[in-house]
Amino acid sequence: MRDVECSECTNYGNSMSCEQCIHEPGRSNLFEPASAAQLKERFLESIFKDEIAIDLQEEFLTALKKAWSIVPQIYEHHHVYCTDKYIMSADNYRLIRIGCNVPALLRNQYVVWDENSGKLYIRHIGQSNFLKDDADKKLEEASKGFVIYTPADKVPLDEWKGAARQQKGERFVVLDKKVALNKALFDGLLAIFSKQDMITIVYRESHEGVKLTGSFIEALIMPVKPDRL
């Protein structure tokens, strides 16, 4: 029985090493975790894409770096989506939309950025995609509710005192004494704003998304369900 993901091994694709590995009957264990750079290289080799060689304006590059900060390593979703007015990215819990001047070649395209080499690729995705089809609607739906207007470094957060989840390495904060959030994920969103930025935070019920807006950025984060605390 395989107890590792072979595609995440540094020897993956080396037929001699694979044949000798314990994960084949009667072999010795040669599994070595591949580095993030190796996994990224394999991913880039596997997808349908076109490399785009253009000089990026500082405004767009800054927006791209912010959007890319939450792009998941689940490579099915490893991209940002560009329109003519903004770029978007998402993971399982967060969504970012950043207004900027998007280069004409990247408009209405899924873009993969190799932060190691600085190369840009247009990724060809055939099926429907959340960023293109549903993200704008999700942000619009989260635009009404209780409003907090605050500097980005003074968001009213309290440390969650419950111990059950924190013993497993997770930490939580409570927004405005009402909505529980994963601290690491929320800190990651706040980091895309400058500390001096005035941001508008909108929340509704404890189980609904929390929206942050400021400096041409809109972001959404899903709260922690009470039964997880």
Per-residue model confidence as pLDDT tens digits over 159-209:
887 655 555 667 889 999 889 999 999 999 999 999 889 999 999 988 899
Q: Which amino acid is at 103?
A: P
State the pTM of this model. Answer: 0.82
Contact 223, 207 (CB under 8 A): yes
Write out the residue range of the structural domain in which residue 224 sits.
142-228
Residue 1 pLDDT grade (very low, low, confident, very high; cuts 50, 70, 90): very low
> Measured between alpha carbons, how far is 78 from 45 in angstroms, rounded to an integer?
14
Long-range contacts of the stretch 86-93 (C-beta < 8 A, 24+)? 87/60, 87/63, 87/111, 88/131, 88/135, 89/131, 90/130, 90/131, 90/135, 93/182, 93/185, 93/221, 93/222
Percent of the chain with pLDDT over 70: 90
How many domains are there within the chain? 3
Q: From residue 120, give the alpha-carbon distance in Å to each of 14, 49, 80, 112, 132.
A: 28, 10, 11, 6, 19
Residue 87 in domain: yes
66 has pLDDT over 50: yes
Q: Which of 84, 118, 135 is the last residue of a domain?
A: 135
Residue 153 confidence (pLDDT): 93
Residue 88 confidence (pLDDT): 96
Q: In terms of domains, do 106 and 57 share one?
A: yes
Q: In terms of domains, do 107 and 161 share one?
A: no
pLDDT digits (tens, 9 = 90+) for 76-99: 778 999 999 999 999 989 999 999
Q: In terms of domains, do 210 and 180 share one?
A: yes
pLDDT digits (tens, 9 = 90+) for 102-127: 999 999 999 999 888 888 999 988 76
> Measured between alpha carbons, how far is 138 from 17 in angstroms, rounded to an integer?
47
Residue 41 in domain: no
69 has pLDDT over 60: yes
Residue 73 confidence (pLDDT): 75
